[in-house]
Each structure stands twice: as structure tokens, then as C-alpha cells.
Amino acid sequence: MSALDFRARLAALAEQDLLRTRAVLDAPCGPHAEVDGQRLLSFAGNDYLGLAAHPEVVEALREGAARWGVGAGASHLVSGHQRPHEELEQAFARFTGLPRALFFSTGYMANLAVLPALAGRGDTVIADRLNHASLVDAALLSRATVRRVPHVDLTAFERALASADGRKVVVVDGVFSMDGDLAPLPGLLALCERHDALLVVDDAHGFGVLGAQGRGVLSHFGLASPRIVYVGTLGKAAGVAGAFVAGDADAIEWLMQTGRSYRYTTAAPPALACALQASLRLIEVGDALRARLAGHRAQLAAAAATLRWPLLPSDTAIQPVVVGGNADALALSAALRRRGLWVPAIRPPTVPAGSARLRISLSAAHTGTDLDALCSALQEASDD
């Protein structure tokens, strides 16, 4: 076997219908995309509140760049922590009701910092089997013993906690990105309290959408505890980029001091922090946007009752239509594309084998007419 057999390996992916291609867009992020000269109604992105091109966010970014330039120049712990970063962290702490927050360049970077800072050799990380790839990688980087348990199985979590060694860290997505379901956080927190464990919640798809004024999945469940380390991603409902980690002040100080992907990377451009402050203000007053999302979910659920593929139950903006085989999911995505809609097919390893699907991402920027078009196209494809 040659080290240079990339062509053969790529051919093997193609034979399994697992080869990915990139679409080059000629339009801003939003409900309408232009790809290869074709105008498409998009249900492909995670701009859940339609803030990615919001005029107030765009203007805040422009003004931030004019005032602060386009780069931070160094890591936060050297000379890159500028006033907009500091103000943004304080705003996230206030908004989530947690003592302190730390700003990261991406959600992936945040997760890569969190788990190795909280657990190491001799400790145990207990992870839901459907956690995001960044959490899987972070758990491995921690060098702790990693136990992956069946999806949202509280009994399995309890067994793993009862037999775990060292410091114990339970880690889950708040909203699972490919199924759209919520982690059973009240039950998990109770287990963590019983077994003296920390609970890390990656709320990439809940922040801005769930809870009072979009405060996320902790607000949705009414949870507060110094055991919780909360990760919020800012490239989805917030419409910009980056992430924050919030929690107990000492835990966040420890993360700042020891998180490798925080210490050893250049801070995000301060202009992005300016844009995110504008986005956060819009999230806080965005109940009408979240109500529109709820209406879209109801409209899609009603239409999906007559489809030949199941729509997984989800009270979030993520609405998965499970098709099964890779080729069948690609064919359904292509059928919608011919009808002017862009709904990507999601295949292994992103989802388990045999559960390839269309991941419909709803946005408050969609209109009722857009949902009518989606539902009609799905029904036509189902009837073919």
C-alpha cells in the first residue's frame, strides 16, 4: 500500500457515494443562493435568525473595522485582547446569566480547549455517541479515558459515571446537529451532582433559538449550576463567527490559563466582536424571529405527514428527513435541486450508516411562500 495512493482512496469514497464537493456561492448567506449561475431557494445553512446579512450587524462590522482595523495581531494573552473582545465577553456573561465568558475564534477551537483543560490522564470523559466531531476530537486530545455511551441514554450515562476514575466530565451537544433533538440536560445535571462530575454543553444549535430571549438550552430547561460549562457558537443563529465558553468564574479562569487553542492562536479580529455585540442585541429582542421559526416548523411538519420518508421530531430549526441509503439521499437532494431548492444530503460519517438524510435548515429569513415551495417540492419528489 503506497503512501501516495490518494487517487485510489478517493475512488473508494466515490464508489460508496461518500465523495463531497464544494459549492461556490455568488450571493451572501441567506435564504436565496446563486450556485453555478443557478438561483436556488436555500435550506442548507445555519443562519437560523437571518442575521448573517442583517444591516445592523453589517454596519457594526464596518464601523469596527474602521475603528479597530482588520486583525488583532497576537493571541489574547499577549497583545490581542482588545476592548471589543472584553466588552463582548462581559455581554455574553450577562446574557447567559453565567459568571464569566471567554471568546474563541470558532466553536471547534473552543471545544478543543475545554475538554483537555478539564480532564487529563487518569480522568474520565463520558460522551454521547452522537456528539459533534469537535467534541470527539477534544475528548481524544484530553488523554483521559473516553467512554462513548448510547445516544441520550441516561441509564448508560449513570453506569459510566458510577465506574469512572479520576475527575469526571460528561459532554453533550445541547441540540444534536443532525437529529435536531435536545440532550436530556436536567437528568444529566442530576447525575453529575450525584457523581461529582462536570457537565459540558455545546449549544451550537440552541443558542439564539431556544430559551427566554434566545439564551439557549440552559434557559430552555431552567438550569443553573457551577458544574455546567456552556459553549455557545456564533456562526449559526448569531450570524457571524466565533464561540464563547461561559461558566463558573474560576473554571473560566482555568480555561484561559490552560486552554491550548486559546493560548496559542491569534485573537479573532476585533471588528467581529463589534458585529457580535450588534447580533447579540438583535437576538435578545428577536422573539418575533423565533416565533416565525416555530411557524415554519409547524408548516413543514404538517406537510411531511404524507411523505414516504420520516421527518424526525425536532422542536429546533434542524428538520431531518431520513432517507436511508447514500445514493437515495443524493438522488432526493438532486431532485429538489432540479426544482430550484438547495437541501444538502448528509451521509456517513456525519450520520450513522444507513441513515443518510436531507438536513433541512429553517431560518426566520424564509417566508411562508418559501416553505410552500419546499413542501410542494418534497411532495412531488415523494410521489415520483
pLDDT at 21 over 90: no
Q: Which three cell numbers stand for residue 214?
A: 434566545
Local confidence band at 3 (pLDDT 50, 70, 90 cut-offs)? confident
Confidence (pLDDT) at 361 = 97
Any known ligand binding at 69?
A: no
d(CA 147, CA 114) in angstroms, rounded, equals 17
Domains in the chain: boundaries: 18-49+287-383, 55-284
pLDDT at 17 over 80: yes
Any known ligand binding at 20?
A: yes
185-213: average pLDDT:
98
The cell 446579512 sits on which residue? 53
d(CA 71, CA 376) in angstroms, rounded, equals 46
Confidence (pLDDT) at 359 = 96
pLDDT at 36 over 90: no
Q: Which CATH class is domain 55-284?
A: alpha beta
Any known ligand binding at 233?
A: yes
3-state helix, strand, coil in the chain (%, to 5): 45, 20, 40
In the chain, the percentage of residues whose pLDDT exceeds 90 is 95
Any known ligand binding at 205?
A: yes
- CA dist 368 → 111, 151, 183 (Å): 36, 34, 30
50-75: average pLDDT:
98
pLDDT at 372 over 90: yes
CB 323 within 8 A of CB 335: no
- With b for 16 or more beta-carbon neighbours within 10 A and e for fewer, the 174-188 pattern comes to bbbbbbbbbbbbeeb
C-alpha torsion 105→109→115→118, nearest 10: -40
Any known ligand binding at 265?
A: no
Q: What are 311-334's pLDDT values in tens digits?
A: 999 999 999 999 999 999 999 999
pLDDT at 154 over 90: yes
- Record the pTM: 0.95
Catalytic positions are 177, 205, 236
Q: Which three cell numbers stand for residue 357?
A: 438524510
Q: What are 252-308's pLDDT values in tens digits?
A: 999 999 999 999 999 999 999 999 999 999 999 999 999 999 999 999 999 999 999
Confidence (pLDDT) at 2 = 84
Any known ligand binding at 108?
A: yes
CATH number for the domain formed by residue range(s) 18-49+287-383: 3.90.1150.10
Residue type (1 letter), 210: L
Any known ligand binding at 9?
A: no
d(CA 95, CA 108) in angstroms, rounded, equals 22
Confidence (pLDDT) at 4 = 84
Confidence (pLDDT) at 384 = 80
Confidence (pLDDT) at 130 = 96
Q: How far apart are the first and last CA of the chain?
A: 44
pLDDT at 141 over 80: yes
Confidence (pLDDT) at 250 = 98
Confidence (pLDDT) at 328 = 94
Give me the chain's average pLDDT, please: 96
pLDDT at 340 over 90: yes
pLDDT at 133 over 80: yes
Beta strands in the chain (DSSP E): 32-35, 38-42, 100-104, 124-128, 145-149, 168-173, 197-202, 228-233, 243-247, 318-324, 341-342, 345-346, 356-361
pLDDT at 87 over 80: yes
Cis before residue 116, ω within 30 degrees of 0? Answer: no
The cell 429538489 sits on which residue? 336
Contacts of 356 (CB under 8 A, 6+ apart): 322, 323, 324, 325, 326, 328, 329, 330, 345, 346, 347, 348
User: Higher confidence at residue 2 or residue 195?
Assistant: 195
d(CA 181, CA 174) in angstroms, rounded, equals 8
Any known ligand binding at 333?
A: no
